[in-house]
Amino acid sequence: MKRTLMKGNDAVVRGALLGGATHFFGYPITPASEIAHGAADLFTRSGRTFLQAESETSAINMMYGAASSGARTMTASSGPGVALMLEGLSYLAGSQLPTVIVDVQRAGPGLGNIWPEQSDYDMCCKGGGHGGFHNIVLAPSSGQEMADFAHKAFDMADAYRMTVVILSDAYIGQMMEPVALPQDVRHGARKSWAVYGDEESRSNLISSIVMSQEGLANLNMELQAKYQRAARDLTDWEEEQTEDAQLIVVAFGITARIALTAVRMLRSEGHRVGLLRPKTLFPFPQERIAELAQVGGRMAVAELNEGMMARDVERAVAGRCPVSRYNWFGGVVPSAEEMVLRMKEDLDG
Amino acid sequence: MVKHAKPKGFYDVFERKSQDFPAGETTHYCPGCGHGTVHKLIAEALVDMGLQDRTIFLSPVGCAVFGYYYFDTGNIQCAHGRAPAVGTGVARSLDDAVVISYQGDGDLAGIGTAEIVHAANRNENMAVFFVNNAIYGMTGGQMAPTTLLGQSTTTSPLGRKSEREGGPIHMAEVMSALEGPIYIERCTLSSPAGVMKTRKAVRKALTNQSEKRGFSFVEILSPCPVGWKMTPVQSRSWMASSMESVFPVKRFRDEEAAPKGNGRLPFLDDGALRDLVGAVANEVPTKVSTLSQDLGVKIAGFGGQGVMSAGILLANAAIHEGLHTTWLPSYGPEMRGGKANASVVLSSDAVGSPVVDVPQALLAMNGPSLDAFENHVVPGGLVMVNSSLISRKVERRDVRVFEAPVSDLAAEAGFLKGANIVMLALFALESGVIGIQTLKEIIPKSMKNKDLVEINLRLVDVAEEFHGRE
């Protein structure tokens, strides 16, 4: 396949269209605006629908309407905008509507700045809005994965009737890499539960209200069962030289790219180090992390936040080995050399 | 004997009603409430007009939250105030659907003002029925945006006062300030004549909707005896005496609008979509180069010197050589004239970090860039200096230095903006990482402005001549 140099923010739009997306509702925000630019061009020219909403709140509700009508719909934003969508995410989860959201993370809190952080981890992976719900969270660490994950996200969303969040960051979104776009064009099928404005679907109801306690308890149990099924079927990760590693770094997104270089540098000096990169953050590869956590070994969690994923890793490790935390924030992105220094401290310690 | 029956637009039995309300054939609304009347007018119209199958009814948050208990149509329950946005999503997905957004005053005129204003302004294909009873009924009789001055509620117990709470919002008038809506009318349920006029307005809005003529807005003044602490009879006379003087009952707009198209271009089939997005099969790299180690290149200058595009060209050349590559931009706060640099990594293997903090090669297009990055270059690395703009010498003794007046060379060839190309070509020649022939093949392919291809190719020749002389 032809490898074309493109930004992650461009690849994700093209992957989504090939994955069957038909409706994009957006609101501009740096560093995700390029996705809206690309969608405005390509969704419109391909006879799909692009609409700039008056706010992120409206964008997610337009998605609620489009998904209710059986469409494959998406948006893209960054932390402050995704925060405004949390109300809608909860309603989407309660009504079991499939949608796709790309979060190109910037640094916070508040308006923060437009450099990369991974501090939307908790907001996206732990549900985010009110009530007990989850999203499927994919963590691309390259332009190629921006295209591939967007391509498969709509099938996944439909299969589980869940929101799929593609949790990217300012670097993965804005850097350019060679990308080979998927060849097969996917399409959504008619959904038995959606409302199409026709006789067949007239009796259907899209709603997140369940007035009886027992009924709402049942809905919650149904959701939890679905999340367990997702954990069994979707959990995905990649390992680099973990077999004999004394120190395994766990990292996702841009941080995993930097950690990969650091691992290669230390390996070339003869150090036994490895990398585990979660490709899904919800479901999280906790069982594999537990397997790799050996007595005498060590793990480290490298991330651009104050330790959000580290809490999940520590829970999986459950005290079997020490877990270090390498944290950067404010938009500071470490070089591989800095990562090597942190890893050497742990190897020496 | 006339037998009154439920309209066929309602379910025969309201099975969706929860145990909190007695199931069966009655609604959950309080005695004397106007919602039942409006529901009935809509349900009858849907049947008479043959629209039941096509209709998607959006229930709000408020007393009508359970609209889906009653309307035998497609139903969507929405978050508070968001129904016009939800309806936008529906209308943009289903060209033939009849979209009804049924909202109360807290929902539409309070929390949902942004959604209603913008859906109206876009002239979305939907009919909005706005039931204005000047109070929050469902949540316990609180002040609504439409509560009258002096009216006491649970959150304005001393009576609404303009200095304290502001005055009531007039939504039909707000709608009239927008160009989008084709039909705007305010009706009242205070009298049988008012109900008959409301019936007409409902049918007018649904006709517009079914014929896809655009956005219709019907505001209906409606009694809430329980919330107002009045009897049903008192509440109707209060509507006539107090509400209707504040909210004039009238038709604000009724345009003869032609059916709206959906504005979409033809839906591309799979092959055309692949072509559009560039999902092109099988182009094997012409060659596969190898590098003994990853090469990090930093190209730096001021905005407008083409450092970003030089980086993109380098990355494209790397792909052509069969290498892996990344390009990462870094801008100053200004769009033009500020600091700018591009980090490009070339590798035989999948690239790990795209961040170039310790470059193997620095291409410094101006003085501040040399000052900023000279000390970061790896010992034994290459520093390329634009001597047209940088008068000082490189201080490091442990790096290889190549100086060239690339701005002057480009200007002499008649295209100062091509200094980046001269620099990149010299880098190719000096480093040997990418072939000069590769560069010549890439320039025509990756330049968006085809008028500039020729001059840029000439600048590559200029660089070759200069390099040959050095």
- Residue A91's identity, in one-letter code, is Y
H/E element holding B31? none
> Chain B residue with minimal CA distance to A338?
B357
Q: In angstroms, what separates the C-alpha of B212 from chain A's closest C-alpha? A: 14
Token pair, residue A175, equals 């850097």
∠ CA B83-A94-B100 to the nearest 5 degrees? 20
Nearest neighbour of A185 by CB, restricted to B66, B118, B273: B273
- Which of A200, A234, A268 finishes a domain? A234
Nearest neighbour of B54 by CB, restricted to A4, A197, A334: A197
- Cα dihedral B227, B231, B234, B238 in deg (nearest 10): 10
Contact B76, B58 (CB under 8 A): yes
Look-up of token digits 């985010």: A128
- pLDDT value at B299 more than 50: yes
The C-alpha atoms of residue B123 and residue B181 are separated, in whole angstroms, by 5
In a domain, A326, yes or no: yes
In a domain, A285, yes or no: yes
What pLDDT is attached to residue A77? Answer: 98
Q: Residue A238 to residues A253, A257, A275, A336, B188: CA-CA distances in angstroms?
A: 12, 12, 8, 19, 65
What pLDDT is attached to residue A128? Answer: 87
Helix ranges restricted to H, B239-323: 244-246, 270-277, 307-320
> Chain A residue with minimal CA distance to B262?
A49
In a domain, A198, yes or no: no
Helix then strand count (H, E) for chain A reads 13, 15
For chains A and B, count residue pairs whose Cβ atoms are closer than 8 Å: 255
> Chain A residue with minimal CA distance to B210?
A197
Residues A291 and A335 occupy one common structural domain: yes
Look-up of token digits 């605006």: A33
Helix ranges restricted to H, chain A: 8-18, 33-45, 56-68, 79-84, 86-95, 121-125, 143-160, 170-174, 213-234, 253-268, 286-292, 308-317, 336-348
Residue B250 burial by Cβ neighbours in a 10 Å radius (0-12, 13-18, 19+):
exposed
Contact A300, A339 (CB under 8 A): no
- Cα dihedral B408, B411, B412, B414 in deg (nearest 10): 170
- Which of A202, A234, A266 finishes a domain? A234
- pLDDT value at B248 more than 90: yes
In a domain, A134, yes or no: yes
Residues A160 and A296 occupy one common structural domain: no
Residues A174 and A299 occupy one common structural domain: no
What pLDDT is attached to residue B334? Answer: 45
The C-alpha atoms of residue B52 and residue A195 are separated, in whole angstroms, by 13
Residues A224 and A280 occupy one common structural domain: no
Partners of A64 on chain B (C-beta within 8 Å) are 76, 78-79, 82, 85-86, 89
A221 and chain B: CB distance < 8 Å anywhere? Answer: no
What angle in degrees, to the nearest 10, is found between the helix axes of B83-93 and B113-121?
30
The C-alpha atoms of residue A291 and residue A317 are separated, in whole angstroms, by 8
Residues A30 and A45 occupy one common structural domain: yes
Q: In angstroms, what separates the C-alpha of B263 from chain A's closest C-alpha? A: 9
- Which of A170, A201, A234 finishes a domain? A234
- pLDDT value at A262 more than 90: yes
Partners of A257 on chain B (C-beta within 8 Å) are 351-354
Verify whether the Cβ–Cβ distance B86 to A14 is below 8 Å.
no
In a domain, A195, yes or no: no
Higher pLDDT, residue B469 or B23: B469
Q: Which residues contact A294 (CB under 8 A, 6 or more apart)?
A: A320, A321
Residues A167 and A308 occupy one common structural domain: no
What pLDDT is attached to residue B303? Answer: 84
What pLDDT is attached to residue B304? Answer: 86
Residues A223 and A276 occupy one common structural domain: no
Contact B329, B444 (CB under 8 A): no
What pLDDT is attached to residue A120? Answer: 98
Look-up of token digits 């069994």: A232
| pLDDT tens digits, one per residue of B376-416 | 999 999 999 999 999 999 999 999 999 999 999 999 999 99
Region A242-253: mean pLDDT is: 97
Look-up of token digits 């490189």: B394
Q: Which domain holds residue A266?
A: 237-348
Partners of B282 on chain A (C-beta within 8 Å) are 1-2
What pLDDT is attached to residue B289? Answer: 74
| pLDDT tens digits, one per residue of A96-145 | 999 999 999 999 999 999 999 999 999 999 988 999 999 999 999 999 99
CATH number of the domain residue A316 falls in = 3.40.50.920
The C-alpha atoms of residue A156 and residue A159 are separated, in whole angstroms, by 5
In a domain, A204, yes or no: no
The C-alpha atoms of residue A18 and residue B182 are separated, in whole angstroms, by 37
Chain A interface disruption, residue of B75, B353, B373, most A CBs within 10 A: B353
Region A47-69: mean pLDDT is: 98
In a domain, A192, yes or no: no
The ipTM, to two decimals, is: 0.97
Among A319, A34, A8, residue whose Cα is nearest residue A172: A8
Check whether the bond before A80 is cis (ω within 30° of 0).
no
What pLDDT is attached to residue B280? Answer: 83
Chain A interface disruption, residue of B18, B53, B56, B93, most A CBs within 10 A: B93
Q: Is the dihedral of CA A18, A22, A25, A28 positive or negative?
A: positive
Give the burial string for B328-366 (b: 16+ CB within 10 Å, else e): bbbeeeeeeeebbbbbbbbbbeebbbbbbbbbbbbbbbb
What pLDDT is attached to residue B286? Answer: 59
The C-alpha atoms of residue B134 and residue A54 are separated, in whole angstroms, by 27
Partners of A4 on chain B (C-beta within 8 Å) are 278, 280
The sheet that has A237-240: what strands, in order across it? A237-240, A273-278, A247-250, A298-303, A323-327
Residues A35 and A13 occupy one common structural domain: yes
Residues A125 and A243 occupy one common structural domain: no
What pLDDT is attached to residue A240? Answer: 97
Residues A181 and A273 occupy one common structural domain: no
Q: List the domains of chain B with CATH numbers.
A: 35-254 (3.40.50.970), 295-469 (3.40.920.10)
| pLDDT tens digits, one per residue of A179-203 | 999 999 999 999 999 999 999 999 9
| pLDDT tens digits, one per residue of B102-123 | 999 999 999 999 999 999 999 9
Mean pLDDT of chain A: 97
Residues A263 and A221 occupy one common structural domain: no
In a domain, A200, yes or no: no
Residue B166 burial by Cβ neighbours in a 10 Å radius (0-12, 13-18, 19+):
exposed
Please tell me the total count of domains within chain A: 2
What pLDDT is attached to residue B337? Answer: 54
Q: How many residues does chain B have?
A: 470
The C-alpha atoms of residue A136 and residue A334 are separated, in whole angstroms, by 28
| pLDDT tens digits, one per residue of B165-176 | 999 999 999 999
What pLDDT is attached to residue B22? Answer: 64
Structure confidence at residue B335 as a pLDDT band (50, 70, 90): very low
Q: Return the percentage of chain A with pLDDT > 90, whole number.
A: 97
Region B7-33: mean pLDDT is: 83
Residues A147 and A262 occupy one common structural domain: no
Verify whether the Cβ–Cβ distance B86 to A64 is below 8 Å.
yes
Token pair, residue B242, equals 């107090």
Token pair, residue A212, equals 């009886």
CATH number of the domain residue A48 falls in = 3.40.50.970
Check whether the bond before A283 is cis (ω within 30° of 0).
yes
| pLDDT tens digits, one per residue of A270-329 | 999 999 999 999 999 999 999 999 878 999 999 999 999 999 999 999 999 999 999 999
Q: In angstroms, what separates the C-alpha of A178 from chain B's closest C-alpha? A: 7
Q: In angstroms, what separates the C-alpha of B386 from chain A's closest C-alpha? A: 26
